[in-house]
Structure 1
Amino acid sequence: MPFLQSNYRPPAYLFNGHLQTIAPVFGVKRNNSLYTTEKLELPDGDFLELDWVRGGNDQLMILIHGLEGNSRSHYVQQMAEHFSAIGWDILVMHARSCGREMNRLPVLYHGGSTNDIAVLLKEYAQKYNSIVLTGFSLGGNIALNFVARHATPQNLKAVAAFSAPCDLKTSEQKIDRFTNRIYANKFLLKLKAKVRKLENLHPGIFNIKKLDDIKSVQAFSANFTAPFSGFKSLDDFYLSGSSLNSLLEVRMPTLIVNAQNDPFLSKPCFPIELAKKSDHLFLDMPKQGGHTAFPITKTKSWMPERLEQFLENIL
């Protein structure tokens, strides 16, 4: 598959990946009236918190947020606002424990958490003529894993992943570098708080004493997410969760947009050789963009326009 020639250019004042990543976090105002929230009960007794923008359309855009994100994250909100304005219903699926209400079961989501998407599609897919699945960051990796490893309904027409850490091991290692400590510390603050909340609801499930010694995202994965999620080792966790290992199984139009200056993404997260072998992978690697950002201004992202252009070509 020929690689896509990107037309993204950042504003001159956002001249590196860090500025491009951080500016939208502070520049985009949260729209608290955008969504209608509902719960989808799950077979295991838990629930999914779903945020909808419904307009009676026959097209559905399903959005999957990144690590410790939610429907109000700037990148999710902007995609929802853009596509709802051009005739799509929007469904944002919160990973368990990422909604407004803590889930009933003690679950830590990860890069291979795809089963809840299958339940979601079983519930709602038949109501729409066309569905597109779009994920951001870790959610992009999850979306890619889903379409590679699950049977999908015929009306799921495409998948898109922005800033996807296709190789989780080297991506976590890069996040943990000294130059990225601001990001790692933010993630760890949220992840540790979540573990403490889950421990309060389910006493004894975690060894809380370990938390204070966790200084990196990779250490959190090794001591909490991987063993608690049933993986035999950290390497098993990475192998199972990295979409890089399953991309050649994808059988639908798939857009991957990863900026070359993304502070989170390692070299293996740019699957150039796999894209060359696939008839279904469309790889766009802008030189600029940061992580889940691609700002045109402080309040507007290029990502919705990029996805709209892609879908116009394939749908």
Structure 2
Amino acid sequence: MAITAPHLTQSLLANPPIPRKSRVRVRATMAPPNADQFKDHHPSLEVLGGARDSFCPVIKTHLDRPYDPFPVFGSNRHLETIFAAFFRNIPDVRLKRECLRTKDDGTVALDWVSGDAGNLPANSPILLLLPGLTGGSDDSYVRHMLVRARNKGWRVVVFNSRGCADSPVTTPQMYSASFLGDLDEVVEHVGSRYPKANLYGVGWSMGANILVQYLGKEPGSRRFSGAASLCNPFNLVMSDEDLCKGFNRIYNRSLGKALSSILKKHLLLFEDLGGEYNIPLAANANIIRDYDEGLTRVSFGFKSVDEYLQNSCSANYIKHVRTPLLCIQAKNDPIAPNRAIPREDIKENPNCLLIVTPKGGHLGWVAGENAPTGCPWTDPMVMDFLQHLENEKSGTPQDTTNLLQSLKV
């Protein structure tokens, strides 16, 4: 989910970032919550999953270190969430857009790194990025992962959902957390374009929820050789409940306004819709639920918003995931509740590994050597995990970090 209320940061961020050299490190002493966890990890992290013994050694260098939030900006979940959304730097990347027309005459936008079609070998691994609700290729967290993968010689493509990141809207059906058809067509399209390449996926927030649903539900999931899920709400009913509480209402209103602003750009497509549609409610949504009540749940045949949310929970499908999957969550995430994480299903699935950090906010993780304005703490771990899977899949003993050093992104 992308936060879109920059005025909120003015009172919270009165002081400039603390220089890296003056940083005071505070080591967490949190005890591991389960006795059967992988033993060789820092106690500030919760580590579990059926693939724990297989995957933890791959990312051991990250698990050995404490999760060390950056002073001030990493100390409060709301401050961290808002700071990361508006003050994390955005890498400059030249992208080439491809508009893909779907079977129902809808349109999604795929953003590829400009020049890579000719510069990279046909068998270069492909990383498909799925941003959060209303997010797209312009978001800082997406750009940082894109650059990190690209610098390792990976081909990267961002999947911008209908209407997001100025993606064209050609039908009245918009974004839905339960509709996997667009992702399936994107996966098929990318796979047919580069049949010799292995495909991997990374999703954030609602993008992670859709990715995990797809991996556990759709036959096309077998095309993925590995994936990572970050800040996944998992249970949208619980997430909706938490978004109606306290300061979280700010995010709810921000996201509701962002959805309605996309709709307002394309109102001509919706003016003749009858039946249960309530386009004025969706176009003037104060919260996400207003938008879903007026448009989403009707478009996709649900009797109520609650039925739509319940049927869109990736927690329902993670037990069926057969693709190697790394899930990273923040315990204090205001949008993806800690209580919604399907820990038991993840522990029983031999393909899944879960890492829970004590702090991080939502899409924040202002920690690590790149804090406060660099990439999220999660990025190096995710990329090492995916590179390991690619090395095993392709039989390559080393990564391709230096493959494209002479090329500019």
Deviations 1:6-62 (A, max 9, x none): 843221222121122111222234446431111122222222211002241411000
2:218 to 141, 150, 164: 150
**1:139 lines up with 2:207 in the alignment:** yes
Q: TM-score, normalised by structure 1?
A: 0.92
- Does 1:193 pair with 2:253? no
Whole-angstrom distance in 1 between the partners of 2:107 and 2:283: 30
For the pair shown, which has the larger CA radius of gyration, 1 or 2?
A: 2
**For residues 224 and 39 of structure 1, what CA distance do their matches in structure 2 show?**
24
Q: Provide Cα deviations, 1:208-265, integer angstroms capped at 9, x if missing partner.
A: 4435885432343233321232112223212221001111111111111110011112
- Root-mean-square deviation (CA, aligned residues, Å) is 2.2
1:78 paired residue among 144, 147, 154: 144
2:51–2:349 CA contact under 8 A, matched in 1: no
- Take 1:186 and 1:36, find their aligned partners in 2: how far apart are those partners? 29
Instruction: Give unpaired runs (5+ residues) of structure 1.
Output: none
- For the pair 1:303 / 2:362, whether they are aligned, the reply is no
Q: 110, 114, 120: which one pairs with 1:56?
A: 120
Aligned pairs, number: 315
SS of match in other structure, 2:303? coil
| Distance (whole Å) between structure 2 residues aligned to residue 269 and residue 88 of structure 1 | 33
Which residue identity lines up with residue 280 of structure 1 in the other structure?
Answer: N
Per-residue deviation, 1:145 = 0.6
| Deviation (angstroms), 1:286 | 0.7
For the pair 1:96 / 2:156, whether they are aligned, the reply is no
Which residue among 124, 136, 148 is the counterpart of 2:190? Answer: 124
- Aligned partner of 2:361 among 277, 290, 308: 290
Aligned 8 A contact 1:288 1:294 in 2: yes
2:403 corresponding residue in structure 1: none
Between stretches 244-253 and 7-16, larger displacement belongs to: 7-16
Aligned to 2:102: 42
Which shifted more, 88-97 or 110-119? 110-119
Tell me by how many angstroms 1:93 deviates: 0.6
Give distance in 1, aligned partners of 2:245 and 2:260. Answer: 19
Query: Distance between the aligned counterparts of 1:140 and 1:186, measured in 2?
Result: 20
1-structure distance, mates of 2:221, 2:201: 12
User: Shift in Å at residue 2 of structure 1?
Assistant: 6.2
Q: Where do 5+ consecutive residues of structure 2 fail to align?
A: 1-49, 57-62, 391-409
Contact 2:135–2:165 at 8 Å: present in 1 too? Answer: no
Q: Tell me how far apart the structure 2 counterparts of residues 308 and 234 of structure 1 sit (CA, whole Å).
A: 36
Aligned to 1:257: 328
Distance 1:108 1:148, change over 3 A: same
State TM-score, norm by structure 2.
Answer: 0.72
Could you tell me whether the CA contact under 8 Å between 1:79 and 1:303 is conserved in 2? Answer: no
Given that 2:206 and 2:232 are in contact with CA atoms closer than 8 Å, whether structure 1 keeps it comes out as yes
Q: 1:9 aligns with which of 68, 71, 79?
A: 68
1:107: how far off?
1.7
Q: For residue 112 of structure 2, give the secondary structure of its aligned residue in structure 1.
A: strand
1:164 aligns with 2:238: no
Seen in structure 2, the aligned counterparts of structure 1 residues 6 and 42 have a Cα distance that, compared at 3 Å, is farther
For residues 166 and 65 of structure 1, do their structure 2 counterparts lie closer, same or farther at Cα, with a shift above 3 Å needed? same
> Out of 239, 253, 260, which is 2:310 matched to?
239
Q: Secondary structure at the match of 2:203?
A: strand
Query: 2:159 & 2:280 partners in 1: Cα distance?
Result: 32
* Aligned equivalents of 2:301, 2:159: Cα separation in 1: 23
